[in-house]
Structure 1
Amino acid sequence: MSKNSSVGQVEKLKKLIQTATNPKQKAMYQDLLAKLQDTLPPESLSEPTPEPVKPKRTIKPKTSAPVEAVEPVEDKTPAPTVPDSQPETESQPETESENKPYFQGIGIIKGEVILTEERSVIKLGEQEYRLFYIPNRRKKAYEALKREIEVTGNTTLRLIVYPKILHLPQKDQPHKVSFQLVGFIGSKAKPSELNTELKDFEFKFSGLWQFIPVCRTPCISIFRNFNKERLTWIKEANPAKKVKFMKSSHVPVLWRDSPAKPFRFNPKLEKEEQGKRYFVQIKAKFLPGRDVFGFAEQLSEPTEEVPGFLKASKKLKAEALKEIQQQKSEENPSVEATPPQTKPNSKPPKSKPKKQKTLQPQTITSDKTE
């Protein structure tokens, strides 16, 4: 890179630092500026390098929990370039204000971790639960977890996870629980606000308190938080990606004495006559074997003020399903065999009834005469 272009990059970074409103972005730009200035001669620098500002650690929402015990990858390029701004998509974490309520579901579980080519599970008591990660986002945490087990030989670990609940169509069919890996608390991990606030098997949930048609237990429904960048991305995405991105999670919670009743939709009532929906924020403890969460602590009063969120409509889901089916048919075209057709005038031959022989009664005679 030439001297003039490097100086231009310095000026560009300085402007980005002045206009940055996000502490993390500002710290990132300052770090890039420091690395770039190290590659230039002292006489070409007109101003001293500002000191990086350490962002305040906050508990992040559902899609932005920190990866514990994962070392950052050092950038060894001689002259880093300024990254272009990109719209926030599923692969980019979100940040929310510390005091502003938002949808989230995150917690800590502790158990025996089993990572093999055939399966990745965590054993909680006598039960095994599937453990997975999103390849484009959390592979770094998964690889760090494997290294931790290889180095220490310890397979009983505390994991930071998102709960994933699969509800089946029939109410009588039990739902299935799995966990998405976000990070882990390794042997060298420093105390953080998350791992000190939550004990083993405790989760923080923020969402709508309601019943859903396929579950007998009331759930806390956690939706994708709304922001303008996501809305812009969604408008340009195809229906299948939209639905996948806006997929919600419905976590069954045992909360008998809840101050607000869970919302239950009544198809016989008009929209104005339906009950009220409440946004709740609680701590709950996962109960292995029962596959539900038990209420532990209320973090704030239930409110009718619901934060903005993204939700796929029934029409969009139908379009996405049609798109997926069309893609499958194009990838695996099936040729249906047609049965041979018979002539329209041909009739099956009539079978003649067989004549049945009637048995006559027989008399027994004797040849002897008296």
Structure 2
Amino acid sequence: MASTEAIAAAFRIDPQILEKWLEGKQPVLAKYASAHQQIFAQFEYIGGEWHPKLDRQSSVAMLDEPSQSQNAVESDRVQHPNSSEVDLEPQSTAMFQAVGIVTGAVHLDWETHKHSAIINGSTYPLFYISQKRKAFEALKAEVAATGNSRQRLIVYPRVIHFPNKQRAHEIAFQLVGFDKGQQTKQEVSRELLDFEFKLAGLWQFIPVCRIPCISIFRNFSSERLDYIKQAEPAKKVKFLKASHLPLLWKDAPCKPFRFNPKAEGDQGHPTFVTLKVKFLPERNVFSFVEQLTPVQETAPPFLKASKKDKASLRRQ
């Protein structure tokens, strides 16, 4: 998602012109015709934000929508008892987050859009959303100019779990940016060492993973709420899909929540934790490094797909 200002900056036009196009108050001059066509062909303006059109084929779609033949489970199919579509809690500075640093050899394939990063001998899909294409282009230029494919990447981790617990989960990384070392203007790159991540989410087990996870949900905003209220179930479920990151945390101050569908009564709820962790490529999991804030019994406001929407998709 992106703001009108961000889209205008990406296409090098005045934000006020773009706003007038949305309101139907500004004719499209010849010099803006190309930008107008590209914007409205690639994006749709919903709920106060620009969203990539879902019918566009991209590496994001391939990673976020595993085929039925793979029997892949969408991460947010995990159900929590007594939860509503929107959980609103008191205002807090805490927020759901998962961002970190990986270092590896980058392979960019612009014909197939199957980009990857080779980390400690293992290959991980590396993808981008349309708003970050410029970052990918800059990464491509850096590799071409220096001849050095080994890069330090700022990424969001993405995990796909499968119904069979014997089948290992798969991890991919969404590119946010890159740098040439610790001396950088990007705060996350200054704060984190290679393979370190900052995770903030719910500490719990999910049915399709033996290892407890940190579950990252969509942070609440009124604009996002407006969008999901009018979105089709398929778009809504995809937009609200959570990410469940397997974590090794031996001496955790609280047990990960485990929901028992056969139990009766109130079973409690997962706690919200904010941690620094390290990605272990040899095991394809994350490992606890440091607790950044005290454990919170109440999570910050977040959005999740309703059981009704998920059920309607399964019936299709």
Whether TM exceeds 0.5 here: the answer is: yes
The residue aligned with 1:81 is 17
Pairing 1:184–2:178 present: yes
The residue aligned with 1:171 is 165
**Does the 8 Å contact 1:264/1:275 carry over to 2?**
no
Pairing 1:127–2:63 present: no
**Does the 8 Å contact 2:182/2:190 carry over to 1?**
no
Structure 1 residues 286 and 234: CA distance shift in structure 2, 3 A: same
RMSD: 2.8
**Does the 8 Å contact 1:90/1:245 carry over to 2?**
no
The residue aligned with 2:27 is none
Pairing 1:320–2:304 present: no
Instruction: State how far apart, in whole Å, the 2-side matches of 1:212 and 1:127 are.
Output: 25
Pairing 1:137–2:73 present: no
* CA deviations over 1:287-322 (Å, ceiling 9, x no partner): 002100000010011111111111112220122344
Instruction: State how far apart, in whole Å, the 2-side matches of 1:182 and 1:203 are.
Output: 13
Question: What secondary structure does 1:122 align onto?
Answer: strand
Query: How big is the shift at 1:148?
Result: 1.3
Instruction: State how far apart, in whole Å, the 1-side matches of 2:302 and 2:134 are.
Output: 28
Deviates more, 1:297-306 or 1:110-119: 110-119
Instruction: State how far apart, in whole Å, the 2-side matches of 1:81 and 1:283 are.
Output: 43
Question: What secondary structure does 1:112 align onto?
Answer: strand
**Does the 8 Å contact 2:152/2:181 carry over to 1?**
no
Pairing 1:286–2:279 present: yes
Instruction: State how far apart, in whole Å, the 1-side matches of 2:172 and 2:12 are.
Output: 35
Instruction: State how far apart, in whole Å, the 1-side matches of 2:307 and 2:13 are.
Output: 49
Q: How many residues align?
A: 248
Pairing 1:228–2:229 present: no
Question: What secondary structure does 1:261 align onto?
Answer: coil
The residue aligned with 1:249 is 243
Equivalent position amino acid for 1:288 in 2: P
Pairing 1:308–2:297 present: no
* CA deviations over 1:11-49 (Å, ceiling 9, x no partner): xxxxxxxxxxxxxx9xx7xxx9xxxxxxxxxxxxxxxxx
The structure 1 residue matched to 2:288, chosen from 289, 292, 295, is 295
Q: How does 1:196-207 map to 2 (within 5 A)?
A: 196-207=190-201
Structure 1 residues 316 and 73: CA distance shift in structure 2, 3 A: closer
Instruction: State how far apart, in whole Å, the 2-side matches of 1:188 and 1:280 are.
Output: 26
The residue aligned with 2:34 is none
Which blocks of at least 5 consecutive residues in structure 1 are unaligned? 1-24, 33-71, 93-98, 326-370
Query: How big is the shift at 1:166?
Result: 0.5
The residue aligned with 2:213 is 219
**Does the 8 Å contact 2:182/2:189 carry over to 1?**
no
Instruction: State how far apart, in whole Å, the 1-side matches of 2:197 and 2:50 are.
Output: 22
* CA deviations over 1:299-351 (Å, ceiling 9, x no partner): 011111111111112220122344xx4xxxxxxxxxxxxxxxxxxxxxxxxxx
Query: How big is the shift at 1:188?
Result: 11
Query: How big is the shift at 1:102?
Result: 0.5
Query: How big is the shift at 1:236?
Result: 1.1
Question: What secondary structure does 1:312 align onto?
Answer: coil
Query: How big is the shift at 1:176?
Result: 0.6
Instruction: State how far apart, in whole Å, the 1-side matches of 2:151 and 2:99 are.
Output: 17
